[in-house]
């Protein structure tokens, strides 16, 4: 356990320095990269803030999809990440084998993939996710 400020509080301080102070002293390519850097720090803040819960939800969905025993969910975050990586790899193999082309499994796979992508976007680019919800792609042209 480290002292305050916490990792999140420190990240926010650096991001605010970039956004409110440094960016205004730069131009061109360096200004652009400073803005990208500030954006990346904001992303990391959002990821750290909700990571444990997000990983838990993703594992639970995969457990449902693969009918695993919920009590086998790894407790340590590193083990949970590794388990999710393995299960998503198994999912990819089943999609490649054509098992998610149609039918009940296909519907359940799409629901899981969609939720996982929305959870990634909530960290990576919440504005994009909001805009997408307001103006969804209908798929029809």
Partner 1 sequence: MTVEGLKRLPGGASREIWLFTASHPDGRREPLVLRRDPPGHVIESSRAGEFALLEVAAAASVPVPRVRWCAEEAEGLGSAFVMDFVAGETIARKLLRDPEYGPARAALPEQLAAALGRIHAMDLDAAALRHLSRPEAGTPPAAAELARFEDIQRAIAPDPHPAFELAFRWLRPRVPPSHRLTVVHGDYRVGNVIVGTEGLRAVIDWELTHVGDPMEDVGWLCVRSWRFGAPLPVGGLCERERFFAAYERAGGTAIDPEVVRWWEIFGNLRWGIMTLMQAQTFLGGVRNVELASLGRRTCEMELELLALMEGGA
Residue span binding partner 1 (CB under 8 A) among the ranges 6-14, 52-60, 72-80, 127-135: 127-135
Q: Decide: is 4 part of the binding site for partner 1 (CB under 8 A).
A: no
Of the candidate residues 43, 48, 63, 68, the single one contacting partner 1 (CB under 8 A): 43
Q: How many helices (H) and strands (E) does the chain have?
A: 5, 0
Distances (CA, A) of 135 to 26, 44, 111, 138: 35, 27, 19, 9
Residue span binding partner 1 (CB under 8 A) among the ranges 7-15, 49-57, 70-78, 116-124: 116-124
H or E element in which residue 52 lies: helix 28-65
Q: Binders of partner 1: how many residues, by CB under 8 A?
A: 42
Q: Decide: is 130 part of the binding site for partner 1 (CB under 8 A).
A: no
Q: How far apart, in whole angstroms, are the C-alpha atoms of residue 120 and residue 110?
A: 15
Q: How far apart, in whole angstroms, are the C-alpha atoms of residue 101 and residue 113?
A: 14
Compare residues 17 and 132 and give the one whose CB is closer to partner 1: 132
Residue span binding partner 1 (CB under 8 A) among the ranges 7-15, 50-58, 75-83, 95-103: 95-103
Q: Quick one: tokens of 125? A: 């680019």
Q: Decide: is 24 part of the binding site for partner 1 (CB under 8 A).
A: no
């Amino acid at each position: 356990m480290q002292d305050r400020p916490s990792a999140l509080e420190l990240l926010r301080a650096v991001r605010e320095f970039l956004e409110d102070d440094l960016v205004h002293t730069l131009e061109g390519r360096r200004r652009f990269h400073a803005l990208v850097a500030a954006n990346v720090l904001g992303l990391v803040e959002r990821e750290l803030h909700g990571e444990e819960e997000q990983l838990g939800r993703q594992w639970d969905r995969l457990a449902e999809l693969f009918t695993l025993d919920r009590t086998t969910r790894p407790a340590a975050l590193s083990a949970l990440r590794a388990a999710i990586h393995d299960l998503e790899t198994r999912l990819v193999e089943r999609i490649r084998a054509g098992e998610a082309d149609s039918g009940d499994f296909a519907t359940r796979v799409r629901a899981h993939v969609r939720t996982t992508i929305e959870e990634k976007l909530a960290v990576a680019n919440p504005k994009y996710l909001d805009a997408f919800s307001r103006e969804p792609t209908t798929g029809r042209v």
